[in-house]
Structure 1
């Protein structure tokens, strides 16, 4: 039986029509035309006709890159490139700290979010004030290698990341769905930026090689004036493309979450078994303790992204149990790391590094406990998946507050 007759016979069977379409879209579309001509009054075929032949109108904003925000994005991208180049000049002169390069990009991304989703004036004024105060404060700190200063520099990007999240969520900053969208944006953004940056690196290498053939060495000039400018501008362009629902990033992120979660789980299990086997002791080995905390942060990030990319329905799947296993392992790692840090604090005294690391571990431990309890309720059918996502999104400001605390107090306390 040909496809046309099968379509006609299954007019009242949507499932079978969908199966036929997915099996061979081209043949289905070709045969559908004949079926539609034979039964033009069929509402079911009418829906399929629109589905197969629908085209965006020429003036539809979503169908074009030249939509609201494109020109503004272009201006921001150019300004970001110029600002980053100017800041880099002063960094080279050792007049300011390298962390100031963040100001060449992040405020412009925040500006695009504000333009794209204009919040109320109180949010805009708060963002402007926080960016200005943090920038002034950062450059009032002495240029030194003291632990308290370095810790302030390390926590500064986290603080700016939370501020950017405020710009992204706008008036809905208190809603879990808006914060969840921001987390998803970050994963899609990283994937898209990395893909485009890789292409840019290939172009840069090709350019340098071509100029070397004619005896010109342009590495220093090219990096300072082209690569740096391009990297900063690309950050704004990537934010624009992701916000325009670019399908590349959105289609691939769920698969990355599903693939990496079990891989991380297996790798972590093997690593921990190996650590126990060879007798590594985080209580005595400082470098190993640092690595242990790095692993903890990595697992936390993978777990959060896996949760945010999971299906929002009530059904449980293997990914949920993998996430639970990851959380359990992360809790074990965090508990051991926290015990080791407390041991070092009691044995060797308080230092900025030990206090900062202990604070981060306590925050992560509390966050993991919250997520674990939410997962237990979900697996016991006492709540939906939104409870788990709330455990992630509602805790985000806590990390921002901790970053602000370290930034603004440690250089003063440990002066």
Structure 2
């Protein structure tokens, strides 16, 4: 490796370090000095510069481990950073992020009340808010993330165009409240728009597989924070009910017409800000939960397969059952994704990798039975928008997990590397986007909006 190539390696490493919000410039400089000293010492022992760099980085440990070590050594400074106090050099940036988040959260809260000016009541019986709810929150979250990344004008135009397309799909089709197309839009449009949020998240490096995996990690942490905020909101609502009823005031109108809708969309933006503000400072939650639930789901699926074999009773498949097994595949995929996001790609195989393979193969075996049965039912009774959507999602998830199982098997048998599993998951994300938009835009007119 030439001197120029070695410096390029240092530059790449330094850029990665600087993305860690808990490490200020002086920390990054200290780490780089330590790395350079280690590389120089190894070169002096006769190693080539590329070998010296790789060994030195390996000796320093993973960056997340270093971050935790710095968090322990500089706990007082990091605590001040969490609370936005003290003299931390990044205080100004954190303050600007906080202001931007508050503006976007307020914008989401205001936007969800605007339709009431045109006769659309949030507590009404219509499907307007069911199909449009994500459009009042996710554009503002995307705006906050794009504001942080500062992408080019083309990215802003694409983001705006996709959200407008989502609004058209949710409101332009001539469907009634009882139409299956309404249910498809209400369930699939939020997922399609979430991938648009992913575009905003990765807008600083759209081609990067690592940034896509970062967004997968962001999605899990965002969901966990949103659930925690929701639990806190439930406590607040209970408190409001109890205290106001004690003085003879009924708070129902305020809670259900104002607090619930405005707080709901605002919380989606706040949860995104929390993930961005706290990443790397405290242990990620989603991978920890993955470690807990992967063995539990693996045992449950194996027990289900054994039970089918013992009693010989087939799976009674209808549309609801197919949706349930779609959710099962989605959960298995989530467990796989978040274990990948927290794993060192260079670490050797272990028992947890074998356990993941068992989990994925068990889910595939169960779903193969469901898929064969459901295909026969569709051939016998015909198609509807709902069962076509459920069947399509099943196939999309099945293809993803089937190839992931093959790659995991090769890794467990020492015939392939683990990075191939990660690259497959990030490369497959556009497939989900294409399918979700197809369900929202194509299936309703294909089935005459019934």
TM-score scaled to structure 2, two decimals? 0.75
What is the SS of the residue equivalent to 2:202? helix
C-alpha spacing 1:307/1:52, structure 2 compared with 1 (3 Å)? closer
What residue number does 1:79 align with?
Answer: 107
Match of 1:121 among 153, 157, 170: 153
Stretches of structure 1 that go unaligned for 5 or more consecutive residues are 1-47
Residue of structure 2 equivalent to 1:400: 433
Q: Partner residue of 2:209?
A: 176
- Residue 51 of structure 1, CA deviation: 8.3
The equivalent of 1:263 in structure 2 is 296
Identify the residue that residue 245 of structure 1 maps to in structure 2.
278
Matched-pair contact (CA < 8 Å) for 2:319–2:386: no
User: Is residue 361 of structure 2 the alignment partner of residue 333 of structure 1?
Assistant: no
In 2: Cα distance, 1:123 partner to 1:328 partner: 39
Name the counterpart of 1:22: none
TM superposition shift of 1:194: 1.6
Which runs of no fewer than 5 residues in structure 2 stay unpaired? 1-68
CA shift in 2, pair 1:386/1:67, >3 Å:
farther
Task: Report how far residue 117 of structure 1 moved.
Answer: 0.5
Partner of 1:32: none
Under a length normalisation based on structure 1, what TM-score does the superposition of the two structures give?
A: 0.81
Call closer, same or farther: CA 1:348–1:241 in 2, change over 3 Å: same
Match of 2:261 among 208, 222, 228: 228
Q: Quick check: 2:222–2:275 contact (8 Å CA) kept in 1?
A: yes
Partner-residue secondary structure (3-state), 2:241: helix
1:49 and 1:398 map into 2 onto residues whose CA distance is 39
Spell out the pairing of 1:142-221 with structure 2 (5 A cutoff): 142-221=175-254
Q: Is the 8 A contact 2:105 2:267 kept in 1?
A: yes
The structure number with the bigger radius of gyration is 1
Residue 309 of structure 1: CA displacement?
2.5
Does 2:171 align with 1:139? yes
Query: Against the structure 1 CA distance between its residues 207 and 196, is the aligned structure 2 distance closer, same or farther, given a 3 Å change threshold?
Result: same
1:67 aligns with 2:98: no
1:107 aligns with 2:139: yes
> How far off is 1:112 after superposition?
0.6
Aligned pairs (5 A) from 1:38-57: 52=73, 56=77
Distance 1:108 1:320, change over 3 A: same
Equivalent residue number for residue 384 of structure 2: 351
**Aligned-residue CA RMSD in angstroms?**
2.7
CA contact (8 A) 2:122 2:129 kept: yes
- Structure 1 residues 340-379: aligned runs within 5 Å: 340-379=373-412
